[in-house]
């Protein structure tokens, strides 16, 4: 005889990233006073995906002085940037940074304005 299907209720739902393992109640009389011998290797406490996410976040925190922003390109420029990236074997970010640096060299007024800004501490 098949088990009856459980119903999905709001108490079983979790927001993305907030999910936790379900705890099953112990049946009375199943707990033992003596330790159980287990020859199996211990399971990893985090999944591979979690470890990668933590590594990315940690690396992002250790990079000092960097800021992120979104660059919207029309499809023609996007294709050209991707092709240039493939041809030069440099990331698109590296190519855009080089182009920005070259552009900013032609604007000495920007350096003069930067020199007037108050000195700020590097992010932790």
Q: 27-69, pLDDT tens digit by residue?
A: 665 555 566 565 555 555 556 777 677 667 666 665 566 778 8
Indicate whether 10 belongs to any domain.
Answer: no
29: left (phi over 0), alpha (psi -120 to 50) or beta: left
Question: Token pair of 36, please?
Answer: 């159980």
Indicate whether 87 belongs to any domain.
Answer: yes
Rounded to whole angstroms, the Cα distance separating 91 from 95 reads 6
Cβ 20 vs Cβ 14: under 8 Å: yes
pTM, entire model? 0.44
Rounded to whole angstroms, the Cα distance separating 1 from 119 reads 74
The domain total for the chain is 1
Indicate whether 40 belongs to any domain.
Answer: no
Domain range enclosing 90: 75-118
- 60-87 pLDDT, tens digit each: 665 566 778 888 999 999 999 999 999 9
Nearest CA-CA partner of 49 in 37, 57, 40, 60: 57
């Amino acid at each position: 005889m098949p088990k009856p299907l459980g119903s999905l209720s709001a108490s079983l739902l979790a927001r993305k990233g907030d999910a936790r393992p379900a705890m099953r109640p112990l049946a009375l009389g199943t707990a033992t006073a003596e330790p159980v011998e287990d020859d199996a290797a211990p399971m990893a406490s985090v999944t591979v995906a979690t470890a990668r996410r933590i590594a990315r976040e940690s690396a992002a925190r250790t990079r000092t002085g960097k800021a992120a922003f979104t660059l919207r390109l029309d499809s023609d420029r996007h294709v050209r940037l991707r092709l240039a990236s493939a041809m030069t074997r440099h990331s698109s970010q590296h190519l855009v940074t080089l182009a920005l640096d070259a552009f900013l060299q032609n604007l000495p007024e920007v350096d003069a304005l930067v020199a007037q800004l108050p000195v700020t501490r590097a992010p932790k």
